[in-house]
Structure 1
């Protein structure tokens, strides 16, 4: 089966991580203004019930109302973990070859992760949000996470994963993936879909660089949900896709082992 896709040969997405009441509201409002100015609709990763002590801002009492406004604007709502409560874990298995030793998900059973997914999903639904995407804190998840995501389809709670290394969305182990090759925006010549990731601790130069990039290439940015909806996803990536994915995992795994 070949790809069936519409539109441009190169498409971009922006992913905003760590949305929660304790995030840096000033920086978040600034990036929201920039994205609205250029009509860019990002993926926004919402932490259902934040317990991460690194987020120290005073809780925004209006956070959930703001999140509902993002959804109304057509932003893709993603379930970003459950508590963002990290512990150390020795990476092992295919999905962790290049990832951090900090995790909220990896190492737990599929049943436990399934219950965490259901709990997080219901918390967001209780606040008026419907997540269509999932990504784990620190990019760290495992086979059991993917199995649990696949099982969510039986609850009519289908989500794709924003992660993985490829040039196009793909399907693996019964779950759809929207790959994330880079953090910082780049002008890329190869046909594909590229997601750029921004945390909520952006610095002055990050805002300037992002706006400069959007001035030139805003027309190439798409909603993640729209992109995923326009793909007839292959069960396998094909030879080139597999080479790219496995090569990046391998190279990043070597880098991670030296850190």
Structure 2
């Protein structure tokens, strides 16, 4: 007979759970594109993770819509509804091609920078949130790129203990932080484990939103919040699984690059 605690831990780690994250909230959003998400979530009592940019300087995002003078009151309103606030970097500007811990993208606001510069960014971001009375529960690195210095800066200047990132199938504890993996850019039915769907309202198509709406109508009871999650220690098996995911992603990217280059060769 299995020990009782084994069954309990197994169920917590393998039960089906969904979360959803919306990236790039800033004062120049096309707010109508966000409101449709908010209405959908409120209808089904889903509490999403919102990636809030403290001091947006990204030219692409600054050109999306008119400046919203009611931006921070709006953010506080989302917080009061129970939405999960996340610190989405500092200014969302990429300064190098470092891919950080997860090797997901070759652009970063943080990874590879000296610790003192990263500390300045995290400290400034935290100060803005304090000024605006917004309490971020987790950190969300732009482009999924950050390194150990980023984590040390968070530990030094914030109360954040959760990282919204990673490639595994369930939440885990690593480097002194709780990690909630972010695996999918659109909804996809699953049968077990914990899955985060990562949407960008500014660029989400109508068809992708309709698919999300249909999915939520069918599976809304499986959506959870931070308090529902169970975190397990990151071990050697997780290390191997993560490395496999990273190298599979790198190999796939390299093959795509070779195919593009091959098409340029004259026949």
TM range (shorter): 0.7 to 0.9
The SS at the match of 1:196 is strand
Structure 1 counterpart of 2:241, from 215, 239, 244 = 244
Query: What is the Cα deviation at residue 180 of structure 1?
Result: 0.8
The SS at the match of 1:16 is strand
- Farther-moved stretch of structure 1 (80-89 vs 107-116): 107-116
Counterparts in 2 of 1:24-63, with a 5 A limit? 24-55=30-61, 56=63, 57-63=65-71
Return the index of the structure with the highest Cα Rg.
Answer: 2
Distance in 1 between the 2:10 and 2:88 partners?
A: 29
Higher share of residues assigned helix: 2
Asked if the contact 2:140/2:165 (under 8 Å) is kept, the reply is yes
Counterparts in 2 of 1:2-151, with a 5 A limit? 3=9, 9-55=15-61, 56=63, 57-91=65-99, 95-97=101-103, 99-151=104-156
Distance in 1 between the 2:107 and 2:213 partners?
A: 31
Distance in 1 between the 2:96 and 2:240 partners?
A: 30
Query: What is the Cα deviation at residue 143 of structure 1?
Result: 2.4
The SS at the match of 1:78 is strand
Flag the 1:48–1:5 CA change in 2: closer, same or farther, 3 A. Answer: farther
Q: Give the structure-1-normalised TM-score.
A: 0.88
What corresponds to 2:218 in structure 1? 216
The SS at the match of 2:58 is coil
CA RMSD of aligned residues (A): 2.1
Q: Which has the higher contact order (CA 8 A, sep 6+)?
A: 1
Query: What is the Cα deviation at residue 226 of structure 1?
Result: 1.5
Instruction: Specify every segment of 5 or more residues in structure 1 that has no aligned partner in the other structure, as ranges.
Output: none
Flag the 1:149–1:227 CA change in 2: closer, same or farther, 3 A. Answer: farther
Distance in 1 between the 2:14 and 2:149 partners?
A: 35
Q: Give the structure-2-normalised TM-score.
A: 0.85
> How many positions carry a matched residue from both structures?
247
- Farther-moved stretch of structure 1 (179-188 vs 213-222): 179-188
What corresponds to 1:195 in structure 2? 196
Q: Over residues 41-78 of structure 1, what are the superposed CA-to-partner deviations in whole Å (9 max), with x where a residue is unaligned? A: 10000000110100211111111111111111111100
